[in-house]
Structure 1
Amino acid sequence: MIINKVIAYKSIVFASIMVVLTISCAKKVASASESDPWKNMELTIKTLPQTKFQDKTYNINDFGAVADGKTLNTLAFEKAIKTCAENGGGKVLVPNGKYLTGAIHLESNVNLHLEDHAEILFSLNPKDYPIVHTSWEGTEVMNYSPLIYAKNKTNVAVTGKGTLNGQADSTNWWIWSGGKGYGWKKGIPSQNDPANREVLVDMAEKNIPVSERIFGEGRYLRPNFIEFFECNTVLVKDITVINSPFWILHPIKTNNIIIDGVTVNSHGPNNDGCDPEYSQNVIIKNCTFNTGDDCIAIKAGRDADGRRVAIPSKNIIVQNCKMIDGHGGVVIGSEISAGVNNVFVENCVMDSPNLDRAIRIKTNSKRGGVIENIFVRNLEVGTVKECVLLVTMFYNVYGSQTGNFIPTVRNINLENITVKNSGKFGVLAEGYPESPIENITLKNVKIEKADSVYSLKNVKNINFINTYINGKKVNK
């Protein structure tokens, strides 16, 4: 009995010591993460689940596909994907050649793989894109299906060195934007007509159910190109994407996605290269973006719809990418109402006279939201038009964008960055008196040429550490 009591006592003591050690280790890990937030990035990378597929191949030609660039192959894609999924998954192979199709809907455990000289041409007939639950500029809607679409799927991929060609130009999808530079003229219907974009936004403000926000034909809201909606464990690798109707890579409410080695070359209106929205644990690496809008734009819903969904985008990692033309290299916003945090950008090259900014954060008092913990390091910036870092709480587009939801923006860190020409400013930041932008740090930043060092309005605690602009050390 005494021996048992001694053993029990020793067990309790040992357990207590282990609890103390566990708590101590946890505190040390937390402390290390706080002192070096990049460890959080490394942990996300290390723990991210990877796609894995059966070693089975389903060639779309065996399901009736014709590689003449003219025959509509929508049914062949559908049959191949369905058969692959029903048999436990694998690779749906698109062989070399040109294949015309309407919307492609993916299934779980399916890898849509393009051979090196395969090209999928997407139909210009809106009727080839059925109405699905999707999103448009940060507002959920029943609208034209994205060209490639997956909803509520797990373990899904689009891979291979072939080309996805949306065939959009100023004679078809792009004209719907209402932009004169994209073929629109007075009298041509567009998304800007009273019954279209603003009606959707108004529906969301009134909390009308998404199932009743039915758009599509006659409403001129262009479809996204590749959209993963409420998916988990996704891979997009090596493909080239050109001529998109609208946003190009759009993971929404999707977790654990890797976008690797993708080339985007599309200069149409709203042709953002990649827009993670309400998404978490996203890695974008080894990609090239040459776009008509933001290269990468991290989103989190627009206005009331974003606050309804209330899922922040977080743990977004951008590595070893090249940004050419675009409104910004890595951008956060403007559809940002649910908030964004823990963004890591490293080892990227940004350079073009048609690239407006390197890092851009844009929000306003209709969007609201909390944007925090943005970490950027090891950038090589050639030429940008306006500035290296732009942070604004007064982003206005499509009319008045003011409301009662004052944003919070804090903790922005740029380190080890070289810039040849930053255009008008090194840093441009503007907040509200009641909600100043807090904690901006530039460390080891060298900007060879800028018209002005900075323009700051309602910014609290900005630090320049070993930072030089126009050959002079910056002090503030």
Structure 2
Amino acid sequence: MKRNSIITILIFCISLTISAQKAFDIKKYGAVGDGKTLNTKAIQKAIDAANKNKGGRVVFSKGTYLSGSIVLKNNVELFFEEGATLLGSTNPEDYPKYEGIRALIIAFEAKNMAVSGKGIIDGQGRELALAIDSLHHTGIRIDPKYNYKRMRPEDGRGKLISFVKCDSITMKQITLKNSPGWTQCFRECKNITIDFMKVESRAYWNNDGIDLDGCENARITNCNINTADDGICLKSEVPGLHNNNIYIGNCTIRSSANAVKFGTGSYGSFKNVTIENIKVFDTFRSAVAIESVDGAEIENIKVSDITAVNTGNAILIRLGHRNGDRAGSIKNVSIKNVKVQVPFGRPDIDYDMRGPEVDYFHNPFPSSIAGIPGHLIENVTLEDIEIIYPGRASKGMAYHPLSRLKDVKENINGYPEFNMFGELPSWGFYVRHVDGIEMKNIKLILDKEDFRPAFVFDDVKNLTMNAIDIPSDKVSQIVFKDVIGSNLDSEAAKRKIEPEQNKFELPAH
């Protein structure tokens, strides 16, 4: 039996053990479900009583329970009956830090916990954020980190759920809504099961759906996520936080940022991660983004069976170097069975909350796999990939000729996104600073004509291309610059060119 399966069974049994123990109805501790009475102390009393009892289920029956921060403790399950809502207070004073954590539900160095049921946890994040914003501008509560460029407070918003250094966590069925910041974050936690959860968090900036920050042995399955920022995000925000043995499967994601992302914080390692059976739609940035820009080692990543419709970019794999003494690494990445449809224009144009606009004119962006000089991405396999691109590129809008491939920005210390290199010279894939890449059964489709080639490879070693299906109306669809050790099938070889560098291109007559 696989280790992840054993972990899931163990956590499920632990959750059943909690549920079988005594129930602690929050109403018996003074909670009132009228949506107006502040119930922080009453709910905390019920949690403390269950903890003192060496375990139990804290029950939220039908009603709306207003609360500030509560702290979840060992062997306690928060159980929400259908029709029950935990409603976050809009008063910033109701969210004091606990062990450096600010959130509606907090856990620190606790074990064997669960949050479950068919109820709702609603953070009223927009109302809380606007209250914090108002206090800053009136001088009552100054935010030293206030973001004047985007006119939003940074300090004090907190998260909906934040667990730090915890072990054996089950999140099941519950609906999470309207966080003031990240919806749920698990930092330095292990043995996590998140199953059949619904996330609707489009209240404010930074509304990530699920964040794992330096976690081990985690399963995220059967979730429906609709967020104003990254859907599911693996992070390593400070050195020493490592992500190991992560499984993400059978989820649906809609996002104003990326659907599934590694980073941006990427100081520690990301190893042995499997992502499969993910449906993505109406998503602004990448369906899959794998990024090491702070020194992280990313290894043994398997991605398969991804379907993305109306999504701004298919795949971004980026090795950069913006922090620390050394660059990281990305190696042994397999991406298979992927179908993506990229629209012309931004996919989230009808959203209330939208990601930041690109601040320069550009044509549609290709997928990118890019390291930096001297630090190559290693051993990438792309197999059974189909991407529909919009075409409609215009040299009048933006133009990067093939004779100036050396001028594509390296942007070594830049924030990693698929648009970070500026205008790109290809419409399908842009690949640079890579050693070992196999492309097999790749089909690229254009809705409208695009003057650029489908593929550009720059500083690439050990490239294999087989069964490449690209539009047949052009011969020069695969461009090589400083490519060493290529193995192309006969059809791909027919499409390959190596443009002369520094050649002035006269307009065609």
Q: 1:96 matched to which residue of 2?
A: 62
Q: 2:479 matched to which residue of 1?
A: none
What is the distance in 1 between the residues matched to 2:304 and 2:197?
Answer: 22
Tell me whether 1:449 sits opposite 2:389 in the alignment.
yes
What is the distance in 2 between the residues matched to 1:122 and 1:260?
Answer: 23
**Aligned counterpart for 1:273 among listed residues 171, 195, 209:** 209
What is the distance in 2 between the residues matched to 1:227 and 1:100?
Answer: 18
Q: 2:128 matched to which residue of 1?
A: 172
Q: Is the 8 A contact 1:388 1:427 kept in 2?
A: yes
Q: 1:154 matched to which residue of 2?
A: 111
Instruction: Read off the aligned partner of 2:88 and give its amino acid letter.
Output: F
* Secondary structure in 1 matching 2:236: coil
Q: Is the 8 A contact 2:129 2:157 kept in 1?
A: yes
Q: Is the 8 A contact 2:145 2:154 kept in 1?
A: no
What is the distance in 1 between the residues matched to 2:137 and 2:469?
Answer: 50
Instruction: Read off the aligned partner of 1:156 and give its amino acid letter.
Output: M
**Aligned counterpart for 2:287 among listed residues 354, 358, 362:** 358
Cα offset, 1:265, TM superposition: 1.0
| CA distance 1:416–1:337, shift in 2 (3 Å) | same
**Aligned counterpart for 2:310 among listed residues 383, 402, 405:** 383
Taking the TM superposition and a 5 Å limit, the aligned residue runs for 1:145-224 are 145-169=102-126, 171-173=127-129, 190=143, 192-193=145-146, 220-224=155-159
Q: 1:464 matched to which residue of 2?
A: 439
Instruction: Read off the aligned partner of 2:221 and give its amino acid letter.
Output: K
TM-score, normalized by length of structure 1? 0.75
Tell me whether 1:317 sits opposite 2:313 in the alignment.
no
Q: 1:15 matched to which residue of 2?
A: none
Cα offset, 1:219, TM superposition: 7.9
What is the distance in 1 between the residues matched to 2:336 and 2:133?
Answer: 38
What is the distance in 1 between the residues matched to 2:146 and 2:189?
Answer: 32
TM-score, normalized by length of structure 2? 0.71
Taking the TM superposition and a 5 Å limit, the aligned residue runs for 1:53-202 are 53=18, 54-133=20-99, 142-143=100-101, 145-169=102-126, 171-173=127-129, 190=143, 192-193=145-146
What is the distance in 2 between the residues matched to 1:412 and 1:326?
Answer: 25
Q: 1:345 matched to which residue of 2?
A: 275
Instruction: Read off the aligned partner of 2:63 and give its amino acid letter.
Output: G
Structure 1: gaps spanning 5 or more residues? 1-38, 134-141, 195-217, 396-400
Cα offset, 1:361, TM superposition: 2.0
Q: Is the 8 A contact 1:100 1:122 kept in 2?
A: yes
What is the distance in 1 between the residues matched to 2:56 and 2:259?
Answer: 35
| CA distance 1:238–1:78, shift in 2 (3 Å) | same
| CA distance 1:57–1:333, shift in 2 (3 Å) | same
Cα offset, 1:127, TM superposition: 1.8
Q: 1:198 matched to which residue of 2?
A: none
**Aligned counterpart for 1:239 among listed residues 149, 174, 180:** 174
| CA distance 1:219–1:277, shift in 2 (3 Å) | closer
What is the distance in 2 between the residues matched to 1:460 and 1:473?
Answer: 23
What is the distance in 1 between the residues matched to 2:82 and 2:366?
Answer: 42
Q: Is the 8 A contact 1:388 1:425 kept in 2?
A: no
Q: Is the 8 A contact 1:422 1:447 kept in 2?
A: no
Cα offset, 1:64, TM superposition: 0.6
What is the distance in 2 between the residues matched to 1:177 and 1:230?
Answer: 31
- 1:23-63 per-position Cα deviation (integer Å, ceiling 9, x unaligned): xxxxxxxxxxxxxxxx9xx4322344313313321111111
Identity %: 30
Cα offset, 1:162, TM superposition: 0.7
Tell me whether 1:473 sits opposite 2:469 in the alignment.
yes
* Secondary structure in 2 matching 1:466: strand
Q: Is the 8 A contact 1:444 1:467 kept in 2?
A: yes
* Secondary structure in 1 matching 2:229: coil
Structure 2: gaps spanning 5 or more residues? 148-152, 345-363, 392-426, 447-467, 471-491, 494-509
Tell me whether 1:288 sits opposite 2:232 in the alignment.
no
| CA distance 1:190–1:238, shift in 2 (3 Å) | same
The more displaced of 78-87 and 465-474 is 465-474
Question: What's the RMSD between the two structures over aligned residues?
Answer: 2.7
Which structure dedicates a bigger proportion of its chain to helix? 1
What is the distance in 1 between the residues matched to 2:47 and 2:303?
Answer: 40
- 1:337-382 per-position Cα deviation (integer Å, ceiling 9, x unaligned): 0121111111110111x43111012342xx2111121111111211
**Aligned counterpart for 1:373 among listed residues 286, 297, 300:** 300
Q: 1:202 matched to which residue of 2?
A: none
* Secondary structure in 1 matching 2:230: coil
What is the distance in 1 between the residues matched to 2:174 and 2:68?
Answer: 18
**Aligned counterpart for 1:335 among listed residues 235, 258, 265:** 265
* Secondary structure in 2 matching 1:384: strand
| CA distance 1:110–1:186, shift in 2 (3 Å) | closer
What is the distance in 2 between the residues matched to 1:402 and 1:311?
Answer: 15
Which structure dedicates a bigger proportion of its chain to strand? 2
Instruction: Read off the aligned partner of 2:316 and give its amino acid letter.
Output: L
Tell me which stretches of 4 or more aligned residues in structure 1 moved more than 3 Å.
174-178, 183-194, 401-404, 422-426
Cα offset, 1:120, TM superposition: 0.7
What is the distance in 1 between the residues matched to 2:373 and 2:131?
Answer: 41
Q: 1:427 matched to which residue of 2?
A: 367
